[in-house]
Amino acid sequence: MTRLTAVPQREPRSGGATAAWDVSRVRADFPILSRQVRGRPLVYLDNAATAQKPRAVIEAITRYYETGNANVHRGVHALSQEATEAYERVRGLAAGFLNVMPGEIVFTAGTTAGLNLVAQSYGGSTLRPGDEILVSEMEHHSNLVPWQLVAERTGAVVRSIPVTEAGALDLAAFEALLGPRSRIVAVTHASNVHGAINPINAISAMAHEAGAVVAVDGAQSAPHLRVDLRAIDCDFFVCSGHKVYGPTGIGLLFGRRALLEQMPPWQGGGGMISEVRMDRSSYAPPPERFEAGTPPIAEVVGLGAAIEYVLGWDWEALVAYEQRLVAEAVQRLVRVPGLRILGEGADRVSVLSVALDGIHPHDAGTVLDTHGIAVRAGHHCAQPLMRRFGVPATLRASFGAYNTLEEIDALVEGLLEARRVFA
């Protein structure tokens, strides 16, 4: 039977001291990194928005379309059976990546879709007037607006978990907010703005003691930390394939099996039913219940290739390398006059947001673009956190497995040039 996903390009290391990260070897796997932008070598520092794709992912998607394109499930012909096997195989890969069971993995369109599914299905079916949803002040809008929508529908109340001046979640304030009406705690594992890593284990334990379930936005942690959901002990976890070096349009939702089984469908259509009559329908068990219609098959195949690819990495070496990158960036950025790093006191993944006195982030980002440097400028879909830090927007540099210290130097020089241009 045709194999539609890629094999790992390297064997994982084990035992002994953490090996050095071979960034040159990793860079060679990403074709786009060899291109130029505006006559300069591409310096891609926008990984928190989307990561680039290794050749293994690109080839897996191409191979699917060239040799195995067919719809999944219920097809008796060879191509459909091959596509179905490849599709369900990725569910097993994703479960292994997050250390859960395959039946607890739902394919979604991404982090946003996964959070909306949880909010509308679980929240919409369990929340009652006066129930409380605790949401942190550092959330991406995708982990705030869905809860506001379901609160409006059910009469529940959204309460804010504050962030300290140093950029960390205020655990003492969180503990004080927990009470008999707390039903859902929605927090990010790592901020998409300043990279702050939240202590999800402690948050889960405190929330469970109060009788609340925990929904975690893992969009920024899955690419940078070795996530073990059994250790974290959350109830829901979502992440996006395109940030873990996979395709856009595909994401993962983990839900505890007992919770998924009690949740009603989010969308109706083919593939999610058990039996349909004109006056009523019954529904398939999870995860099929939440995967109505033709799924993004090629994207799932590409995600499988991405998971296999990253599982071939030495993750201890990767985490150490990315921590070195972000630490060096903090040290070297002090050369830029009037630059402020948001949340300097927080433990972080390799994401940094900065504000430049007298220069709008869009202007600074435009100068960087003339040097071939790609960063993100704006409020990063986190306006409450922008208000907490007293800025309308920031310039964000986010580093991945293929970034280098030389690219940090290029970033610093580009910001110095922006300072000269707007002096």
Gyration radius of the chain over CA positions = 22
* 240 and 282 both lie in a single domain: yes
What is the tens place of the pLDDT at every residue in 104-116? Answer: 999 999 999 999 9
Judged by DSSP in three states, 315 sits in helix
In the structure encoding, which two tokens stand for residue 157, read together? 């109340």
* 153 and 177 both lie in a single domain: yes
Rounded distance between C-alpha atoms, residue 400 and residue 224, angstroms: 8
Among candidate residues 311, 338, 356, the one where a domain is terminated: 311
* 142 and 252 both lie in a single domain: yes
* 124 and 255 both lie in a single domain: yes
* 88 and 165 both lie in a single domain: yes
What is the tens place of the pLDDT at every residue in 63-92? Answer: 999 999 999 998 999 999 999 999 999 999
In the structure encoding, which two tokens stand for residue 106, read together? 């739902």
- Give strand pairing partners of 158: 133
Is 295 within a domain?
yes
Whether residue 330 contacts residue 32, with contact meaning beta carbons closer than 8 Å, is answered with no
What are the angstrom distances between the C-alpha of 272 and each of 264, 267, 268?
A: 11, 8, 7
Among candidate residues 251, 284, 311, the one where a domain is terminated: 311
* 75 and 161 both lie in a single domain: yes
Whether residue 333 contacts residue 30, with contact meaning beta carbons closer than 8 Å, is answered with no
Which range marks the domain in which residue 213 is found? 66-311
Is 14 within a domain?
no
Q: Name the stretches of the chain with pLDDT < 70.
A: 1-18
pTM of the model: 0.94
Judged by DSSP in three states, 354 sits in strand
Is 407 within a domain?
yes
Residue 18's pLDDT is 55
* 166 and 293 both lie in a single domain: yes
CB-based contacts of 223, cutoff 8 Å, min separation 6: 47, 51, 243, 244, 245, 400
Residue with tokens 């306006």: 383
Which residues are identified as catalytic?
381
Q: What CATH number is associated with residue 273?
A: 3.40.640.10
Whether residue 213 contacts residue 236, with contact meaning beta carbons closer than 8 Å, is answered with yes
Is 31 within a domain?
no
Is 416 within a domain?
yes
Q: What CATH number is associated with residue 404?
A: 3.90.1150.10
Is 345 within a domain?
yes
Is 106 within a domain?
yes
DSSP, residue by residue, 217-243: E-TTTTTTS---HHHHT-SEEEEEGGG
Nearest to 198 by CA among 210, 212, 186, 209: 186
Among candidate residues 278, 311, 344, the one where a domain is terminated: 311
Nearest to 239 by CA among 211, 215, 208, 212: 215
* 201 and 325 both lie in a single domain: no
Q: How many domains does the chain have?
A: 2
> Rounded to 5 degrees, what are φ and ψ at 74?
75, -5
Residue 423's pLDDT is 78
* 331 and 289 both lie in a single domain: no
* 218 and 320 both lie in a single domain: no
Is 278 within a domain?
yes
* 134 and 266 both lie in a single domain: yes
* 212 and 281 both lie in a single domain: yes
